[in-house]
Amino acid sequence: MLRLDDVRVALSKDRVVPFLQPIHNIKTGELYGVEILARIIDAGENVISPDLFITELEKSKLIIPFTLTLMRKVMEMMKQIQIQWKCPFYVFFNIPANMLSDPALVMGGRYFLRNTHKEIKPVFEVTERIKISTHPEDVRIIKSLSADGIPLWLDDFCTGHSNLDSLKTGLFSGIKIPGELVKNNSVKNLIDNIHLSLNETGRQLHISLIAEGIETLNQLNYIKREGIDLAQGYFLCSPLCGSDFSDYIKKFY
Ligand code: C2E
Ligand code: CA
């Protein structure tokens, strides 16, 4: 495990880097976007996965400069990519629920939106390891994000605090379905419950779905049969460093 001080040092030494995992539209064959996954490069040039630092980091305010650093680096990467952006390309950042209304993060999201190509759209995917704030001022700020063009998605649906009650808040445009639910063949059940729950609250929201953790062709075919068009996972593509991603995306343009 890394200590918070190690993360602080990594930030000061410019050793926090974004990896990008493609999200595919399996119906059209287009690239829908990417999820940004943080990595720390240690002094021996080893790539350290977030499992070794993210839980502690998310409890600390250090997650704010950490996330802003990732946003800045992704912005720089996107500017370097030599393609003609021709349809919306969604960039999903992981944001802990309790930090969503932080003014610096909100400003960071808006800055990203204004300073990248108009087809590049930031999305905040909310990890509810810590519950989302229901304080009216926080809810007002969170709602303003979506209104400004930064949609919120629920990450790791049905884990942590993330469940149908979170969906009923009306704050979210989409849901990321964890790989475990795909492996258990529980996707149909989940979709039925989502529809039921939205009907109950009288909302006619359109909720988009991404199935994560797709590792096999069978799993891909299964989610297709269940009507899910957006997918992410090792079977499609692993998280890539910036230069590999820049090569990868060119195949789609
Ligand atoms: P997550 O949000 O659930 O992200 C998906 C994790 O599954 C990533 O692990 C990804 O590399 C991995 N993955 C992708 N495809 C597959 C697959 O087909 N099978 C399996 N078994 N795993 C797959 P990673 O990169 O180690 O990240 C772990 C967690 O750390 C993430 O889980 C996310 O909650 C958190 N995290 C990563 N980057 C950030 C960040 O910048 N900020 C915050 N707050 N959390 C982050
Ligand atoms: Ca995620």
User: Ligand 1 pocket test: which of 36, 54, 157, 175 has the largest number of ligand atoms within 8 Å of its C-beta?
Assistant: 54
Give, as residue ranges, everything with CB less than 5 Å from ion ligand 2. Answer: 94, 125, 155
Contact indicator for 183, 214 with CB cutoff of 8 Å = no
- Residues 3 and 59: beta-carbon distance below 8 Å: no
At 225 the three-state DSSP class reads helix
* Ligand 2 mean position, distance from CA 154 (Å): 9
Q: In this structure, are residues 121 and 80 in contact, taking their beta carbons and an 8 Å threshold?
A: no
How many angstroms separate the alpha carbon of residue 127 from the centre of ligand 1? 11
Q: Which pLDDT score is estimated for 204?
A: 57
Residue nearest to atom 41 of ligand 1 (CA): 38
- The pLDDT score that the predictor gives to residue 203 is 58
The three-point CA angle 191-195-200 to 5° equals 145
Cβ proximity of 70 and 94 under 8 Å: no
Q: What single-letter DSSP state applies at residue 128?
A: T
Distance between CA atoms of residues 144 and 228, nearest Å: 28
pLDDT of residue 39: 98
Largest Cα–Cα distance of the chain, in whole Å?
A: 55
- By alpha-carbon position, which residue is closest to atom 19 of ligand 1? 213
Atom number of ligand 1 nearest to Cα 37: 38
pTM over the 0.85 mark: yes
Q: pLDDT tens digits for the chain (253 residues)?
A: 999 999 999 999 999 999 999 999 999 999 999 999 999 999 999 999 999 999 999 999 999 999 999 999 999 999 999 999 989 999 999 999 889 999 999 999 999 999 999 999 999 999 877 788 888 888 898 899 999 999 999 998 887 777 788 888 888 999 999 999 999 999 999 898 888 887 776 555 688 999 999 999 999 999 999 999 999 999 999 999 999 999 999 999 9
Tell me the torsion sign for CA atoms 36, 125, 181, 186: negative
| DSSP SS3 for 53 | coil
Angle between helices 63-80 and 103-115 (to 10 degrees): 0
Class of domain 4-247: alpha beta
Domain ranges of the chain: 4-247
Nearest alpha carbon, ligand 1 atom 4: 37
Q: Are 188 and 226 in contact (CB under 8 A)?
A: yes
Measured CA distances, 156 to 15, 45, 238 (Å): 27, 30, 18
Residue 221 tokens, joined: 């075919």
Three-state DSSP class for 117? coil
> For residue 163, what pLDDT is reported?
78
Using the atom order of ligand 1, give the atom closest to the CA of residue 127.
34
